[in-house]
Structure 1
Amino acid sequence: MKPFLNLFFASLILVSCNGPKKNSPIDVAFSSDAEHLEELNTECFQYLGAKDTVRLTTHVDGTNVTGSLDYSFFEKDKNSGTIEGEIRDNMIIAEYTFMSEGVTSKRQVVFKNTEDGWKEGYGEMKTVDGIPVQVNIDSLDYSHQMALTPVPCD
């Protein structure tokens, strides 16, 4: 009987050492794979007016945020570019690098998460190191109707 028990425990040890299958749902959920993490932390928002569209895609890593921002206003030049900044006090504060009429430019953008959605703040700006930035982030105007609400990412 003792040889049978030894064989049984040896088999049990071998089976338990195999661990979970590769690519199991548990492995995928806790994977550090960059593509998987990007999917978990990517969100898309859009304002769609009668003739105007603003689209924001964010990739959040802790308090850091990167993504894309596109403006398409009726009878105005389209602006399309990237953001890089931080999330602080329910706001996205980022540098927007964009292309308009074949020229690359930069400016600061600030979006506040309101009950209507993400709204861009407008206020007095000054130029610092060649980049327009808000003079006072705490006194920006968010009273306009262009709220960016969640949409499925493409």
Structure 2
Amino acid sequence: MKTSILIGMTLASAALYSCSQNNGATNKQPEKPISTTCYMAIDGKDTARMELNQFSKNMGGNLVINFAKKDNNNGTIEGKFKGDTLYVDYIFKVGKDKQAHMNPLAFLKKDGKLIMGVGKMESTLGRTYFRKDVPIDFVQGRFTFIPVPCKK
């Protein structure tokens, strides 16, 4: 009799446990941005446009770089501010290439503008990042992004 009760309780527990599992599926809606700012930068004949969304814990958006003499870069950015510097991962495609690439980018926020920095990079296990022992140079950067009205 005790064995029957124990087996019944075990089966009921297993059934309740499996019903409470969502198998990785979530009904969570994507977080809406707190604010969105659009930026544009020009360097000679090359231009760049960024839409930057502020979320509760991070930043994200789109970045398109149009080069005059080579294929454009089109992708997304995601990262965080550390002090006055925005560090992001830029996941992008070059031209019509279907292969996605990822590079780190850093932007110094100064006087309402975002200045793209240049730094020494290295890769480990397929991940590229800025070297910690070499400071990022914001004077040598090609693009200084200024706020512009967002396109609808």
**Partner of 1:64 in structure 2?**
58
Q: 3-state DSSP class of the match of 1:75?
A: coil
**Partner of 2:136 in structure 1?**
140
Moved over 4 A (4+): none
Alignment check: 8 A CA contact 2:92 2:101 kept: yes
The TM-score with structure 1 as length reference comes to 0.69
CA distance in 2, matches of 1:148, 1:84: 17
CA distance in 1, matches of 2:86, 2:133: 11
Cα deviation, 1:63-86, whole Å, max 9, x if unaligned, reads 401101111122022100001111
Larger CA deviation: 133-142 vs 71-80: 133-142
Q: CA deviation at 1:116?
A: 7.1
CA distance in 1, matches of 2:64, 2:133: 22
- Say what the alpha-carbon RMSD is for the aligned residues: 2.4
Alignment check: 8 A CA contact 1:116 1:147 kept: no
Query: Hey, which of these two has a bigger chunk of helix by percent?
Result: 1
**Partner of 2:105 in structure 1?**
109
Larger CA deviation: 66-75 vs 107-116: 107-116
Q: Residues 116 and 43 of structure 1: is their aligned pair in 2 closer, same or farther, counting only changes over 3 Å?
A: closer
Alignment check: 8 A CA contact 2:112 2:147 kept: no
Alignment check: 8 A CA contact 1:108 1:131 kept: no
Q: 3-state DSSP class of the match of 1:139?
A: coil
Q: 3-state DSSP class of the match of 2:109?
A: strand
CA distance in 1, matches of 2:105, 2:72: 16
* Amino acid across the alignment from 1:115: D
The aligned length equals 120
CA distance in 1, matches of 2:105, 2:82: 13
- Structure 2 unaligned blocks of 5 or more: 1-29
CA distance in 2, matches of 1:148, 1:137: 26
The TM-score with structure 2 as length reference comes to 0.70
* Amino acid across the alignment from 2:73: N
CA distance in 2, matches of 1:126, 1:90: 23
Q: Residues 56 and 135 of structure 1: is their aligned pair in 2 closer, same or farther, counting only changes over 3 Å?
A: same
Alignment check: 8 A CA contact 1:123 1:141 kept: yes
* Residue among 144, 149, 152 paired with 2:146: 149
Q: Map of 1:1-154 to 2, 5 A cutoff?
A: 38=33, 40-101=34-95, 102=97, 103-115=99-111, 117-136=113-132, 139-144=135-140, 146-154=143-151
Report the structure number with the largest CA radius of gyration. Answer: 1
Identical pairs, percent: 26
* Amino acid across the alignment from 1:121: G
**Partner of 1:14 in structure 2?**
none
CA distance in 1, matches of 2:133, 2:67: 24
